[in-house]
Amino acid sequence: MSLRFYDTGTRSVRTFEPLEEGRVGMYVCGATPQASPHIGHLRSGVIYDVLLRWLRASGYEVTFARNVTDIDDKIIAVAAERGVPWFAVAEGNQRVFTQGYDLLGCLPPTIEPRATGHVPEMIALMRRLIDKGHAYPVGGDVYFDVKSWSDHYGELSNQQLENMRSTGDTPNEDLKRDPRDFALWKGAKPGEPTWETPWGEGRPGWHLECSAMATKYLGPVFDIHGGGVDLIFPHHENEIAQSRAAGDGFARYWLHNGLLTVDGEKMSKSVGNVVLLPDLLGKARPAEVRYYLVSAHYRSLMDYTDASLAEAVSAYQRIEGFATRASEIVGAVAPSPAVPAAFAAALDDDLGVPHGLAVLHETVREGNSALASGDHDVVRRRLADVRAMADVLGVDPLSPHWGRGGEDDLRPVVDALVTVALEQRQAARARKDYASADAIRDSLSEAGILVEDTPQGARWELKRD
C-alpha cells in the first residue's frame, strides 16, 4: 500500500506524491508562546513527530519547519499584565515548549523560524500582493482584499464568502474596503513593538508570518502543511489566499489534527481544567505520557481523563515489560531494519496509529509466548520488530532517550516548566491576588511539586512517596 493522507483541501484521502522524489518539505504551525504548553499543544507536537518519523522510515529526506509566533496580540497582553517586556514572555515560554517537546521525545525540526526574524520576507510578500491588486495600505495598516480572491476564498474551510463575518482583527475596521478583509500588517500603537515598512511602522499580522516563513525555507510550492483543526479558519484559509494570490502554489497537502478536551469539556482557564505538563508528570513518566498522546488517531477528538491516561500507562508497561525481560535473556537486539508489513500498512493508511498499536501489542504477546516456551530465536525476532515499531512511534523502551531515566535527568526540564508557574504566582502575589497565587501553588502540589517560600524566594522539590 502506498502512503495516503486525508487532505483537508480536497476533503478526501489522497495518495501521497511528493513534489520531488525522495524528498518532503513539511511546515507545521508551532507555538504562540504566551503561556506554558498544555496537553493540547503537546499532543500536536507528538503527532507531527510521528509523521516525521514515519516519513523518514519510509525513505524520505524531510525538511521540517515548525515556526514560533513570537509576536502576537496575546503575547503583548500577557506582557502588559505582568509588567514585563513582550520578548521576555515569548522567549521564556518558548524555552518551556522546547523543553517539553524534548522531554516527550520529539525530534527537533530542521528549522524553527521565529516571526520576528522574518519581517523583510513579510514586506516583500505584502509588496507582491499590493502590486497585484490583492492588498492595500490604509491608516498604517495593510489589508488583504478578500473580494479580489473571492473565486477561491473559503475553499479550504468549505465556506462561502457571503456567509462570513467581520474579522475584527484591528481597531480600524472602518478603514477596510470590506469588513472581511484581514490584516497583513498592523499599524504602530503606543507601547507596542514596531518594525519599519514602506507603509509605516507597525507589526505583522498572524497569517502573513506563516506564509513568509514557509515559502522562505520550503519554496513557493511544498508538500505538507499541518496544524490543529482549529487553525483551518481563519489562519490556514488566509495563508492560502495571500500565498496563492501572490503567485505561490503553496502547500499541496493539508493535514489537521483533532483537538483535545478534558473530561468532556474544552480546556479553559476560567473553568480551571487546563492540563499542563507538570500535571501529567505527577501521574505518569514521560514515555507513558507520549504513548498516551500518540494512541488515538491524529484526526480524532481526544478526551483526556485520569482513567484514560492510566490505561495508556498500563499498555506502555506491557511493551516495556516484554522489551526489558527479552533483552535480559537474549542480550542487546537492534530494531529491525523494516517494520512488519501490517504495521506499515496501518501507518500508510492516513497515519493509522491505533491499528499500528494493535500490531505492536500482538507482537508483544507473541514475544511473551516465546519467552515462556524458551524459544530465544523467536524472542530476538519479536524484540527487533517491537523496537522498530515502537521507534516509529517514539516509545521504544530501550531507546537511549528513555533509558537515561531518573529524576536527575528530568529535573532541568521540570525546573523550566515550574519556573514559569512560580513567576506567575509571584506576579499574582505582587498584585495581591492571593486567590490566584494559592491556586497556582495547589495546582503544582497536585502535580507532585512542593513549593516552599523562603527569604530568597520560592523553591520547589518533588514530593516523596
Instruction: Kindly report, residue by residue over 98-126, the tens digit of the pLDDT.
Output: 999 999 999 999 999 999 999 999 999 99
What is the rounded distance in angstroms from the CA atom of residue 270 to the CA atom of residue 286?
27
Strands, DSSP E only, in 305-343?
none
pLDDT of residue 280: 93
Q: Give the pairing of strands 202-204 and 182-187.
A: antiparallel
pLDDT in the model for residue 460: 75
- Amino acid present at 347: L
Check residues 428 and 85 and name the one with the higher pLDDT.
85
239 close to 204: Cβ distance less than 8 angstroms: no
pLDDT tens-digit series, residues 429-440: 888 888 888 888
Instruction: List Cα–Cα distances, 163 to 61, 158, 159, 160, 198, in angstroms.
Output: 42, 11, 7, 6, 34
Going 162 to 168 to 170 to 173, the CA torsion angle's sign is positive
Lowest mean pLDDT among 85-94, 192-201, 307-316, 447-456: 447-456
Q: What is the pLDDT of residue 262?
A: 96
Matching residue, cell 479550504: 156
Please say whether the beta carbons of 164 and 102 come within 8 A. Answer: no
Return the exposure string of 139-171: e unless at least 16 CB atoms fall within 10 Å of the residue's CB, then b: ebbbbbbbebbeeebbebeeeeeeebeebebbe
The predicted-structure confidence for 384-418, as pLDDT tens digits, reads as follows 999 999 999 999 999 999 974 334 455 566 767 77
CATH topology assigned to domain 4-258: Rossmann fold (3.40.50)
**How far apart (Å, rounded) are the C-alpha atoms in residues 193 and 80?**
12
Alpha helices in 104-205 (DSSP H): 119-131
Instruction: Name residues whose C-beta falls within 8 Å of residue 71's C-beta, 6 or more positions apart in sequence.
Output: 86, 90, 115, 116, 193, 203, 204
Alpha carbon distance 124, 51 (integer Å): 32
Q: What are the Cα distances from residue 412, in Å, to 103, 400, 403?
A: 10, 18, 17
The pTM (predicted TM-score) of the whole model is 0.87
Q: Looking at residue 247, what DSSP letter applies?
A: T
CA distance 236 to 10: 14
With CA atoms as reference, report the closest residue to 24 among 194, 221, 175, 272: 221
Dihedral sign from CA coordinates of 451, 454, 458, 459:
negative
Query: Do 66 and 98 contact (CB within 8 A), yes or no?
Result: no
What is the structure's pLDDT at 1? 65
Q: Give the pLDDT band of residue 451 (cuts 50, 70, 90).
A: confident
> What phi-psi label fits residue 369: left (phi over 0), alpha (psi between -120 and 50 degrees) or beta?
alpha
Return phi, psi of residue 122, to 5°: -70, -40
Helix axes 86-103, 73-82, angle to 10 degrees: 110
Place of cell 499580522: 205
Q: Please give the sequence-ordered ranges of beta strands (E in DSSP) within 19-120, or none if there are none.
A: 23-28, 61-66
CB atoms within 10 A of CB 404: 10
Look at residues 62, 24, 103 and name the one whose alpha carbon lies nearest to residue 412.
103
Give the integer Cα–Cα distance in Å for 304 and 309: 7
Give the chain's mean pLDDT: 92
Q: Does a cis peptide bond (omega within 30 degrees of 0) precede residue 120?
A: no
- Domains in the chain: boundaries: 4-258, 265-403, 407-462
| Total Cβ atoms within 10 A of residue 317 | 16
Q: Are 29 and 211 in contact (CB under 8 A)?
A: no
Q: What is the pLDDT of residues 260-298, one digit of tens each?
A: 999 999 998 888 899 999 999 999 999 999 999 999 999
